[in-house]
Structure 1
Amino acid sequence: MKQLKYIVLSLLTLGMMACENELVDDLRDRNNPPTDPLPDLTAGSADFSNYVSIGPSFTAGFTDNGLFIASQENSFPNILAGKFANAGGGSFTQPWMSDNFGGLAAGGTRITDPRLVFGGAGPVPLESVIGPVTVGTDIVLNNPSGPFNNLGIPGAKSFHFIAPGYGNFANFPAAANPYAVRVTGNTPNATILELATDQNPSFFTADLIGGNDVLGYATAGGDANINQITDPAIFEGAFNAIIAGLTANGAKGAVTNIPYVSSLPYFNAVPFDALDPTNPAFGPLIPTLNGIFGQINLVYQALGQPERSIVFSETAASPVVIRDESLADVSAQMIAAFNASPTFPLFVQSLGLPAAAAPLVANLLGATYGQTRQANSEDLLTLPSASVIGTVNSDFFAFLTGSGIPAALAGQFAVEGITYPLDDRWVLLPSENAEIVAAVDAYNATISSVASTNGLALVDVNAILTEASTTGIMFDDYNMNTDLVFGGLVSLDGVHLTARGYALMANSFLQAIDSTYGSNFEASGNLARAGDFPTNFSPLLQ
């Protein structure tokens, strides 16, 4: 009986354990439901056997203000080629740089500098961290031989892709691009488009063509004397010619539109109110500055221009002082008002100058502040302005001292963004940005029409960067935004993407290709993964 009792107990225990195991298995099944296997990858109606990419710096993989081996490895066309290889794609050749320093030389003479790196507080030149380097990529001594599937030409405008001799060293620097020189090989007068079409591509990407047509003007602060916006009619002709050439033999492809420059950190990383009263080099001077500008503000008010008044706060950040050429120039009226004021000589004496210097000071103040105001939230300060604001403008300092102003006083009146208005090249004014927006809208209308007419996939880069600059955009587990350094999307130069940003761009291409040509890169699990791509490169990468 005892034995029977133990047998029964054992059976009960086993039964309870079995029930418990079934419960655990049931819970495990509920938490990890079976998943259907992913479908096999299909190319749909696209043929990726011979893929060629054409475009400016994004195509090349430009990042951190340079092109170097690691950045080329992470270019979005190279990422795409890796995915295309799983769907019948062939080899993909790039014009490799010589090292990971970046920069270019011509016959041993440096023509562009090495890349930027993170210096702890912000972007700094590579050489400021590791010391001098020799730029090894030389457009005279060691150009690679093509043909190249990646025809990304940093700096190229739309019409440059159809310009003969753009890659001929004999035309450098006036009418040739050093990156184009590296890809033309034995046919220096061939156009970049011809280099692409001669390969008879079965599939192509053409990205951000037209981006540099507005970017050069924007980075110059809207100074048309430095760089001009390409007329939309010229862009339309160039873009139509490029797509006509690429599709002549039936190739399919994908194109992108152009983003607004205001979504890039190059134009929004530096705040318009950059003057901090807690800065020991600025804060203690605020009462004196307000006293000086108080005299100038009285003239603005008398001229019916009170909105131009310049006042610095002792408790909050103040806007920088800028020159706005869209304002009416009231220099002559200001000079006349100063000279007519009976108290102006006393003001001049308060500066440590003799009363007899009043006409000279009147002329200097009128000429300096005749088209001046403080910046507002609609003004876009360019990234390089961060290193200019608060420094002494050496040219204006020399002018003042040459006019008889003592050096100490000249230094006080030549401080960029405070007593010396920031020049146009450092600020993109609302009127100038409006010109850019109008051009971008015209370009994008052309791109959309041409893509639709030719049945091409269209990637809305404008929408992607707008979303990233407002709410951020999710890429796997990462929220990517356009904050400089820490946003993860845009590299240290404030314009070009990080490696992870280019991976996001590659995925946007793949999704557009899926939608247009019936491939299934996304559904089959063939998108790039964010964690496989870095957001910055070490200074030690050589």
Structure 2
Amino acid sequence: MKMINKLLYFALAITFLSSCDQEADVPTPKSGEADFSVFVSLGDSYSAGYTDGALSRDGQESAFTTLMAANLSGLGNEGFSVPFLPAETSVGSSLEGKMELQVTQSGLAPVTTEGNPELLTDPSTWINDGAPYHNVGIPGARSYHLVAPQYGDYTLGAGNFNPFYARFATAPGVSTALSDALSLNPTFFSLWIGGNDVLGYALAGGEGESAGMGGDDITPAGVFGQSYDLMLSSLTGQGAKGVIATVPDIDRIPFFNTVLPGMLELTAEQAAALNAGYQQYNDAAVQYNLEKITFTEGANYFVVEDEDHPLGMRQIETDEKILLTARTNITAAGWGSQSPVPQEYVLDKAELTAISEATEAFNGVIRDRAGQFDLALVETNDLLGATAEGLMVNGISYNNAYITGGVFSLDGIHVTARGSAILANEFIDAVNEKYGSTIPHVVVNNQDGIIFP
């Protein structure tokens, strides 16, 4: 009887496990209304795989576009070529390498490595002979750059072209990022562009024009719209379907939200010393009926430069921002206390308004064109809003906190490999919903996060 019971128990267990396996089965991949045979990606550093302050082979392999393409392989995708850097190399826009967490005299901190500048400065290292590539993600690219042939013309000299594109352009100075993508006759595309059209201004502390065409200026909305329309009409004109994405608000990005305005912690002695040091300033403030600069024990607001202020400096306000790059000198050089934080590291109310209005204008264009061209749409603010609140993925929690959150990399702007996987799944969900496809998800926790020493 005991043996019969054991056999019966075993049979029931097998039946139960089998039913669990069936419930956990991933749906059979299908294309739905889309054709994924030739997938191309147009975009900026996110599409390219820029992370930890540089482009690297590891970052390219874990870009959301690369991860997404890998999951299209079971849906007839014929391959996704990437202009890979050599293994174990990296180079950023400053010609330095990736940032790494290292133990320093002040504790655990991000440190920029030496990198491989020759990858951008020596044309003999470029890989144009492999062009066109399916991943046309270009770090630093703005909307109008993707349709400009000069963007890949290295003979124009520094500042007039982008070596990240020149190194893999089909014909530098002749082809455009868009024409390279079109030459592959894509059946499906992703386009995520517009971040740099406003981010350059934000990263420069608003030192550019609020609407201009210089290196740190915000791109005029009309220029953005014209460039965007040209790209979408050209891509869909060949019959391709696709997915596009909005521009995230900088309130979702740790580079602009890690050094908070009221984070200056002082002892009573430090506060008294600073009050004495600013006495002459405060005498003048009283004379001109201006706010004084004062400090107390505990949390205080940083002092910042302000060229529009009658006395050239003031304490920052709650709804203004200090860039992440000011953090080191706040500690080492006394920025924000003994001396004001330089203006190029601060975004004031007027600058934040210009950034917000531009972002809204660009996103208005993107949302409108998603309907006009019948494309899948990813709302990046919705995703980053979810991660800001804390996103649980297979038992691991992710959020937007700098270093510890798991989503953003050490540069505070670009994502980690796990952040890329989260992005890839958001794009996949948008495509599946729009076209009735069942592209499988990327396994987020199989990707790397920030590496601790």
TM-score of the superposition, structure 2-length normalised?
A: 0.90
User: Where does structure 1 lack aligned partners over 5 or more consecutive residues?
Assistant: 1-13, 105-109, 128-132, 331-369, 393-414
Cα distance in 2 for partners of 1:185, 1:537 equals 35
Deviations 1:487-518 (A, max 9, x none): 11011000001011111111111111111111
Q: For residue 433 of structure 2, what is the aligned residue in structure 1?
A: 515
Asked if the contact 2:188–2:242 (Cα under 8 Å) also holds between the matched residues in 1, the reply is: yes
Of 75, 93, 112, which residue of structure 2 is paired with 1:125?
Answer: 112
Residues 1:474 and 2:414 aligned together: no
Cα distance in 2 for partners of 1:117, 1:288 equals 37
Deviations 1:258-279 (A, max 9, x none): 000121110111122333325x
Q: Compute the displacement of 1:431 (Å).
A: 2.0
In structure 1, what residue type is equivalent to 2:232? Answer: I
Of 142, 148, 157, which residue of structure 1 is paired with 2:125?
Answer: 142
Asked if the contact 1:99–1:137 (Cα under 8 Å) also holds between the matched residues in 2, the reply is: no
Of 270, 289, 299, which residue of structure 2 is paired with 1:317?
Answer: 299
Q: For residue 224 of structure 1, what is the aligned residue in structure 2?
A: 208
Asked if the contact 1:459–1:509 (Cα under 8 Å) also holds between the matched residues in 2, the reply is: yes
Deviations 1:262-318 (A, max 9, x none): 21110111122333325xxxx74432321232443344234332xx2211223x122
Deviations 1:141-176 (A, max 9, x none): 111121100000100111111112210111231310
In structure 1, what residue type is equivalent to 2:367? Answer: S
Q: For residue 356 of structure 2, what is the aligned residue in structure 1?
A: 437
SS at match of 1:504: helix
Q: Compute the displacement of 1:17 (Å).
A: 5.5
Cα distance in 2 for partners of 1:134, 1:76 equals 24
Residues 1:176 and 2:161 aligned together: yes
Asked if the contact 1:48–1:89 (Cα under 8 Å) also holds between the matched residues in 2, the reply is: yes
Q: For residue 483 of structure 1, what is the aligned residue in structure 2?
A: 401
Of 436, 441, 450, which residue of structure 2 is paired with 1:527?
Answer: 441
Deviations 1:168-220 (A, max 9, x none): 1112313100111012143432111111111111110001x110011000011
SS at match of 2:242: strand
Cα distance in 2 for partners of 1:200, 1:101 equals 31
Deviations 1:341-379 (A, max 9, x none): xxxxxxxxxxxxxxxxxxxxxxxxxxxxx1422123312
Q: Compute the displacement of 1:233 (Å).
A: 1.2
Asked if the contact 1:203–1:252 (Cα under 8 Å) also holds between the matched residues in 2, the reply is: yes
Counting only pairs closer than 5 Å after superposition, residues 147-296 of structure 1 correspond to structure 2 as 147-207=132-192, 209-224=193-208, 227-277=216-266, 284-296=269-281
SS at match of 1:276: strand
Q: For residue 212 of structure 2, what is the aligned residue in structure 1?
A: none
Asked if the contact 2:91–2:116 (Cα under 8 Å) also holds between the matched residues in 1, the reply is: no
Q: Compute the displacement of 1:449 (Å).
A: 0.7
Q: Compute the displacement of 1:62 (Å).
A: 0.4
In structure 2, what residue type is equivalent to 1:530? Answer: V
Of 394, 418, 439, which residue of structure 1 is paired with 2:337?
Answer: 418
Cα distance in 2 for partners of 1:270, 1:460 equals 26
Q: What stretches of structure 1 move > 6 A for 4+ residues in a row? A: 27-32
Of 6, 21, 27, which residue of structure 2 is paired with 1:39?
Answer: 27
Deviations 1:3-28 (A, max 9, x none): xxxxxxxxxxx1x5645764676588
TM-score of the superposition, structure 1-length normalised?
A: 0.76
Q: Compute the displacement of 1:437 (Å).
A: 0.9
Asked if the contact 2:45–2:138 (Cα under 8 Å) also holds between the matched residues in 1, the reply is: yes
Residues 1:69 and 2:84 aligned together: no
Cα distance in 2 for partners of 1:313, 1:22 equals 75
- Residue identity over aligned pairs, in percent, reads 30
Q: For residue 98 of structure 1, what is the aligned residue in structure 2?
A: 86
Cα distance in 1 for partners of 2:16, 2:133 equals 52
In structure 1, what residue type is equivalent to 2:159? Answer: A
Cα distance in 2 for partners of 1:156, 1:198 equals 20
- In structure 2, relative to structure 1, the CA distance for the partners of 1:26 and 1:377 (3 Å cut) is farther
Counting only pairs closer than 5 Å after superposition, residues 11-90 of structure 1 correspond to structure 2 as 14=1, 18-19=4-5, 22=8, 33-34=19-20, 35-36=22-23, 37-90=25-78
User: Where does structure 2 lack aligned partners over 5 or more consecutive residues?
Assistant: 210-214
SS at match of 1:122: strand
SS at match of 1:141: helix
Counting only pairs closer than 5 Å after superposition, residues 363-378 of structure 1 correspond to structure 2 as 370-378=311-319
Cα distance in 2 for partners of 1:41, 1:185 equals 33
Cα distance in 2 for partners of 1:295, 1:137 equals 52
- In structure 2, relative to structure 1, the CA distance for the partners of 1:91 and 1:28 (3 Å cut) is closer
Asked if the contact 2:96–2:113 (Cα under 8 Å) also holds between the matched residues in 1, the reply is: no
Of 327, 334, 338, which residue of structure 2 is paired with 1:386?
Answer: 327
Q: Compute the displacement of 1:530 (Å).
A: 1.4
In structure 1, what residue type is equivalent to 2:204? Answer: A
Cα distance in 2 for partners of 1:136, 1:87 equals 38
Deviations 1:64-108 (A, max 9, x none): 01111111111111111111111100111111112333116xxxx
Cα distance in 2 for partners of 1:52, 1:456 equals 15
In structure 1, what residue type is equivalent to 2:412? Answer: G
Cα distance in 1 for partners of 2:28, 2:273 equals 73
Deviations 1:390-420 (A, max 9, x none): 555xxxxxxxxxxxxxxxxxxxxxx532243
In structure 2, what residue type is equivalent to 1:528? Answer: V
Higher radius of gyration, 1 or 2: 1
Greater shift in the superposed pair: 61-70 or 180-189: 180-189
Q: For residue 130 of structure 1, what is the aligned residue in structure 2?
A: none
Q: Compute the displacement of 1:118 (Å).
A: 1.0
Cα distance in 1 for partners of 2:451, 2:77 equals 29
